[in-house]
Amino acid sequence: VAGIAAGRGSAFSGVAPDARIIAIQVFSAINDSSKCSMSGHSTPCARTFESDYIRGLERVAALSQQFRIAAVNMSLGGGQYFSNCDSEAQAVKAAIDNLRSVGVATIVASGNNGWRDSMGSPACISSAISVGSTDDGSGGTTADQVASSSNVASFLNLFAPGRWINSSVPGGGFENFSGTSMAAPHVAGAWAALKQKAPNAS
């Protein structure tokens, strides 16, 4: 995800190769099989909770006084919402609104359930920038059309490439991954490039 947004390489780079990344850990290792199975994973698994990413967003707000931050990328989420979920996620919305007030966009993956009338949280928050995924044309798909796995809703904001995206992985090397978690950092990188060009734009 970081490589897609701001990676720099000799053969190819991310969307905003001159940008820098501030990594904030919001996941925890969970050894409770009942919690892991809720997300379809075996034990142990990595999970994040609303309280974790609220703290993460608050940390970004604090750091925005020291660094010029363009966007937050949130390739995470869950649940199913058929309309904006502001009332169900008031504390998350407050953190996103706080960042927006200081010029930092919160970019969130819409989720990969293939829904055509809903998406997950926190993408469903009205002040977040929600991102769905498009196909690359491989495997019989049509390039630049909505990926079959992408969540889509009438209140979705943007689409970006999300099928078989080749990017850097921990430990060195590169791998291909698909999903809205790959689409969101394309938008976060583009946001950084636009912010550099027009730093005072709303």
Q: Computed from CA positions of residues 15, 17, 21, 25, in that sequence, does the dihedral angle turn out positive or negative? A: positive
Amino acid, single-letter form, for residue 104: V
- Give the alpha-carbon dihedral of 116, 122, 123, 124, to 10 degrees: 60
Instruction: Indicate if the pLDDT at residue 4 is higher than 80.
Output: yes
pLDDT digits (tens, 9 = 90+) for 43-77: 999 999 999 999 999 999 999 999 999 999 999 99
Q: How many Å apart are CA 98 and CA 38, to the nearest integer?
A: 31
For position 38, what pLDDT does the model report?
Answer: 74
Residue-averaged pLDDT of the chain: 95
Q: How many Å apart are CA 55 and CA 163, to the nearest integer?
A: 30
Q: How many Å apart are CA 14 and CA 3, to the nearest integer?
A: 6
Amino acid, single-letter form, for residue 119: M
pLDDT digits (tens, 9 = 90+) for 74-99: 999 999 999 999 999 999 999 999 99
Gyration radius from the chain CA atoms: 16
Range in 38-42, 121-125, 145-149, 163-167 the model is least confident about: 38-42
Q: Exposed (0-12), middle (13-18) or buried (19+): which is 130, by Cβ within 10 Å? A: buried
Contact residues for 58 (Cβ-Cβ < 8 A; gap 6+): 95, 98
Instruction: Indicate if the pLDDT at residue 115 is higher than 80.
Output: yes
pTM score, whole prediction: 0.94
Q: How would residue 139 be classed by pLDDT, with cut points 50, 70 and 90?
A: very high
Q: How would residue 119 be classed by pLDDT, with cut points 50, 70 and 90?
A: very high
How do beta strands 105-109 and 129-134 pair?
A: parallel
pLDDT digits (tens, 9 = 90+) for 144-179: 999 999 999 999 999 999 999 999 999 989 999 999
Q: What is the 3-state secondary structure (H, E, C) of 161-173?
A: ECCCEEEECCCCC
For position 3, what pLDDT does the model report?
Answer: 97
For position 37, what pLDDT does the model report?
Answer: 83
Q: How many Å apart are CA 178 and CA 157, to the nearest integer?
A: 19
Amino acid, single-letter form, for residue 96: I
